[in-house]
Structure 1
């Protein structure tokens, strides 16, 4: 038989193909005559197709009793473009089986991903730690935490919603924060050479790398992205980040003062109580990490809001993570040439 294996987002009008997809939604609705039907949505990472399963369909009973939202299926279906958008005519459907991984099925296939390579981001973070953290005990602590959680950190989103809410988004965000914090610290070391105590580049970098480490316990990476764990909902990542740091520091020869400073950066990086911070930044390194973190989060929100906004005009709508309109700009005024 012809190999029909493809991906949902690559299919074109009239194409028949075999593909893996997540049942993202199933709703029970009714026609004008009161007859029940199901509206189902199947998706991969780049496309979602919603369409009706009518009560007289051969799939109606399965849609009602067997199809489960959040479950992956292998489908043989034809994509059809209609006046109501793309729809699928399903020929065959079954839940995912163990052998499907050999054909390319990935349980994280539906979750959007960072456009940057997680291996390269991880390696760059560790290189910055190696280069910028002078205290060997602090360096070993930071690198040890990351190496012990490497596999999970490679996939972890930075959030469930709002900013960097996609696979490897955590590493993308933390690397950006660390790069920016490093540059800012280096600039202020030059600007304030007489500061007592002197601004510590190593503490700044270590704090930037670990500021969100509590998200290891706050978030769980699932098929559709990040979900909050019970401890994430009840406690949050700020306090759990401090817990991870303290646990890793047991038996370390790290000085109590450095440990205290690192704890403070973690608990203060969000600055405001309503954002989850029990304390505001209370020394220069903590202030730098806070602003580097806040800038990167808001910059990604703004870029995403501009890219995703469907409206036209000089301003976007305010239906975005920042909850404000964003100025895209109008046409530049025409400059008349001098004669």
Structure 2
């Protein structure tokens, strides 16, 4: 693993190419500036005198068997790549990118239990139509390219955490419509499966760039309701929750939350996203230190308290 690399050693490891750009030295020879990663961390690498074959091998997204010397450059470890070979055998993505801290089996069990708690026939029918189409992808995809829940199964982890929050809030506020709220939580981010390209090094698809996950999901619920001939206000309430869940116009919602359930959805989405972002940053520092500035939290730097508070 990259975290175990030592200076002045030679390694031969399967690593994921996170990014790769071409440069030219002052002498006119081509080189590759590569960012490699495994589940433990990332490391910069250089391939000098790069050939056309090297450019193809070290394309972003490829898993490559890398042979390289570990050197130190400006106080950080770096790889001087000698050669690489694309790995075409079955690749376990969890060796190269982080995954949710909860297993897929546990996420599936909890998610399906919440789905089973939705008894209203029209709500249940819409939810069933949506999840049947995306079930496998839902438990593989991240919830974002970066920032919150940007790891394998991040979308499901975010959704199930929000369902747990929704359940507790409904216990405290029994006047809330539990089934509508559960449905809103389940639906609100599923459009990201079409917005993003996949579970490993995701990028925005053309549909994601031009429509976005909010519009994608609202249109899907509208289509399903029409096809199933659901003429009640249920589809309108669900579409409203999808459209308003970012909470503010400037955050990407075309409408503001105008039902209690839509307001709660927006609040718990924001809560879980922010805490996940903070926890991710805190996990990289020691007690008594502060994080880097977190753009999604007003560029604030968060302090990690010491366990011994004396």
TM-score by length of 1: 0.78
Aligned to 2:120: 135
- CA-based RMSD: 3.0
Identify if the C-alpha distance between structure 1 residues 144 and 26 changes in structure 2 by more than 3 Å, giving closer, same or farther.
same
Aligned to 2:170: 185
Per-residue deviation, 1:246: 2.0
Task: Write out aligned runs for 1:192-211 (5 A).
Answer: 198-211=175-188
- 3-state SS, counterpart of residue 28 of structure 1: strand
Whole-Å Cα distance in 1 between the matches of residues 108 and 129 of structure 2? 13
| Equivalent residues, number | 306
Answer yes or no: is the 8 Å Cα contact 2:66–2:83 preserved in 1. Answer: yes
Q: Which runs of no fewer than 5 residues in structure 1 stay unpaired? A: 1-6, 190-197, 335-339
- 3-state SS, counterpart of residue 280 of structure 1: coil
Deviations, residues 122-150 of structure 1 (Å, cap 9, x unaligned): 2211201212x231331232133213211
Which of 236, 251, 254 is matched with 1:278 structurally? 254
Answer yes or no: is the 8 Å Cα contact 2:245–2:269 preserved in 1. Answer: yes
Task: Write out aligned runs for 1:205-224 (5 A).
Answer: 205-221=182-198, 223-224=200-201
Identify if the C-alpha distance between structure 1 residues 283 and 69 changes in structure 2 by more than 3 Å, giving closer, same or farther.
same
Aligned to 2:106: 120
Per-residue deviation, 1:83: 5.4
Q: Which runs of no fewer than 5 residues in structure 2 stay unpaired? A: none
Per-residue deviation, 1:267: 0.9
Whole-Å Cα distance in 1 between the matches of residues 166 and 258 of structure 2? 16
Identify if the C-alpha distance between structure 1 residues 22 and 130 changes in structure 2 by more than 3 Å, giving closer, same or farther.
same
Which of 210, 216, 219 is matched with 1:243 structurally? 219
Answer yes or no: is the 8 Å Cα contact 2:18–2:60 preserved in 1. Answer: yes
Answer yes or no: is the 8 Å Cα contact 2:245–2:253 preserved in 1. Answer: yes
Identify if the C-alpha distance between structure 1 residues 45 and 283 changes in structure 2 by more than 3 Å, giving closer, same or farther.
same
Per-residue deviation, 1:36: 4.2
Runs of 4+ in structure 1 over 6 Å off: 330-333
1:95 aligned onto 2:56 = no
Whole-Å Cα distance in 2 between the matches of residues 270 and 23 of structure 1? 29
Aligned to 1:44: 38
Highest Rg: 1 or 2? 1
Task: Write out aligned runs for 1:1-339 (5 A).
Answer: 14=9, 16-22=11-17, 24-30=19-25, 34=27, 36=29, 38=31, 39-55=33-49, 60-61=50-51, 66-75=56-65, 77-82=67-72, 84=74, 85-88=76-79, 90=81, 92-97=83-88, 100-101=89-90, 105-106=91-92, 109-131=95-117, 133-189=118-174, 198-221=175-198, 223-224=200-201, 226-252=202-228, 254=230, 256-308=232-284, 315-322=290-297, 323-329=299-305, 334=310
- 3-state SS, counterpart of residue 164 of structure 2: helix
TM-score by length of 2: 0.84
